[in-house]
Amino acid sequence: MLLNKLSTFSQLNSQIKLMEFPRIIYGSLFYKKKLHSVATTNEKIHNEETTKTMNMYQAINNALEIILEKDSNSVIFGEDVAFGGVFRCTVGLKNRFGNDRVFNTPLSEQGIVGFGIGLANQGITSIGEIQFADYIFPALDQLINEAAKMRYRSGGMFDCGKLTIRTPCSAVGHGALYHSQSPEAYFAHTAGLKVVMPRGPIQAKGLLLSCAEEPDPCIVFEPKVLYRSTSDQVPLEDFKIPLGKAEVVRKGDSITLIGWGTLVHVLLEVADLVEKKIGATCEVLDIMTILPWDTETVCESVRKTGRVVIAHEAPLTNGFGSEIAAVVQEKCFLNLEAPIQRVTGWDTPFPLVYEPLYLPDKWRCFNVIEKTLKY
């Protein structure tokens, strides 16, 4: 049943409309043309009774509403969430569910996460928001030393599995150092946490609904550039996308392209470019869950294609691409026809005016893919 649903969703997902997305993310000065094509709609799947067109923030809002609706022991809290949130993700929820369940906290990230752990200890489904992923660092101690280790250190007596932390991440065109970071790799090094990053409205809703019920503490990184730039026919029902599963977003034979979040859209467009210019087909994977990640789906694809390019916005050194590359070379050594390549942000802080040159955009990806194919 679940599998059927999932395959429907992935088909649905091909309808993603990337409207103003490229201009927002890369700046119109550098790219006159859209970087990403608008996928064609599929009339057969389109069903106005069971789905609704939503952008990503609306899909998240919808998921949060479902959580609050079905679980009376659930709360949403963070900085400025009561009036609807600075990205509109919590709009209308306070009015519907009351100030006891949707509330502002004082401005303290370590407080938000610590407070959420305490709520979760007492069995409350607690969805905390950190306003930007760049500001999650004051809460690292609570996340890494406390949330992640609570079940383990208490021998399973206590846990904070009902805690989910949502936070907007990644580039937005002009976010500079502290409104652009992709800190997933810091958390991928922490046993006990689950870390996800959706690429669009359907994934955002399905993954968030999973995280809320997951018996382990979860962090959802939401690429903020996608909040308004992507829209899907999102199923209105309560559905889940299982954690720890990657998705083959496009089938191909010549090379495996691995990304998550915003980069999946870049890779999809690069796949078109590669097909057009080189005539090779790319298999594009969205790993969706960073920790624990789906080695099986990734290795299966690599065994078929023999070539891998991993792309992420975060810096290269010790980025999550390193982990994927190491595991893939260990498990698929005999299948690899070329060195595994990583196209990532540079090992610098995330800069303001240099953003178009910092990001692993489609031309940087294309260049590396071309070299890998010709290796």
Partner 1 sequence: MTLFKFSRLLSFVSKPIVQQKLNLSSEPQFLGIKSKYTDQLKFVNSDNYESIPIYRILSTSNEKDLPVKLEEETLIKMYKNMIRITVMDKILYESQRQGRISFYMTNSGEEAVQIGSASALTSNDVIYAQYREAGVLMWRGFKYSQFLNQCFSNFEDPGKGRQMPVHYGSKELNFMTVSSPLTTQMPQASGAAYALKLKKQKACVVCYFGDGGASEGDFHPALNFAATLDCPVIFICRNNGYAISTPVTEQYRGDGIAARGPAYGISTTRVDGNDILAVHHVTQAARDYCINNMKPVLIEAMTYRIGHHSTSDDSTAYRPSEEINIWTQHSPISRFRQYLEKLGLWSEAQETEFQKLTLQEFMKEFSIAEKKLKLDWREMFTDVYKEMPSHIEEQMKNLEDHLKKYGEHYPLKDYKST
Contact footprint for partner 1 (CB under 8 A): 73, 75, 100-101, 103, 105-106, 108, 110-124, 126, 138, 141-142, 145-146, 149-159, 161, 191-192, 194, 215-216, 244, 292, 295-296
Least distance in Å: CB of 323 to partner 1? 10
Least distance in Å: CB of 297 to partner 1? 12
Three-state DSSP at 272 gives helix
Three-state DSSP at 308 gives strand
Residue 11 vs 99, nearer CB to partner 1? 99
Least distance in Å: CB of 130 to partner 1? 13
Question: Is residue 109 annotated as part of the catalytic site, yes or no?
Answer: yes
Which DSSP symbol is given to 333? G
Task: Point out the catalytic residue in the list 79, 146, 179, 355.
Answer: 179
In whole angstroms, what is the distance from residue 358 CA to residue 351 CA?
7
Residue keyed to tokens 């975060």: 314
Least distance in Å: CB of 14 to partner 1? 29
Task: Point out the catalytic residue in the list 79, 109, 184, 355.
Answer: 109
**Closest by Cα among 344, 254, 265 to 307:** 254
Please report, for residues 109, 111, 134, 256, 349, the alpha-carbon distance to residue 178 in angstroms, rounded to integers and kept in the order given.
15, 20, 5, 32, 9
Residue 160 vs 249, nearer CB to partner 1? 160
Least distance in Å: CB of 125 to partner 1? 11
Structure tokens at 180: 């652009």
HEC readout, 101-143: CEEECCCCHHHHHHHHHHHHHCCCEEEEECCCHHHCHHHHHHH
Please report, for residues 77, 211, 243, 359, the alpha-carbon distance to residue 71 in angstroms, rounded to integers and kept in the order given.
15, 14, 20, 40
In whole angstroms, what is the distance from residue 232 CA to residue 51 CA?
9
In whole angstroms, what is the distance from residue 244 CA to residue 68 CA?
24
Residue 16 vs 193, nearer CB to partner 1? 193
Structure tokens at 308: 């891998």
In whole angstroms, what is the distance from residue 67 CA to residue 166 CA?
14
Three-state DSSP at 179 gives coil
Residue 45 vs 144, nearer CB to partner 1? 144
Find the radius of gyration of the CA atoms of the chain. Answer: 20
Least distance in Å: CB of 111 to partner 1? 3
Residue 30 vs 152, nearer CB to partner 1? 152
Question: Is residue 129 annotated as part of the catalytic site, yes or no?
Answer: no
Pairing of strands 308-315, 341-345: parallel
In whole angstroms, what is the distance from residue 57 CA to residue 55 CA?
6
Residue 149 vs 304, nearer CB to partner 1? 149
Residue 122 vs 348, nearer CB to partner 1? 122
Least distance in Å: CB of 309 to partner 1? 23
The catalytic site residues sit at: 109, 179
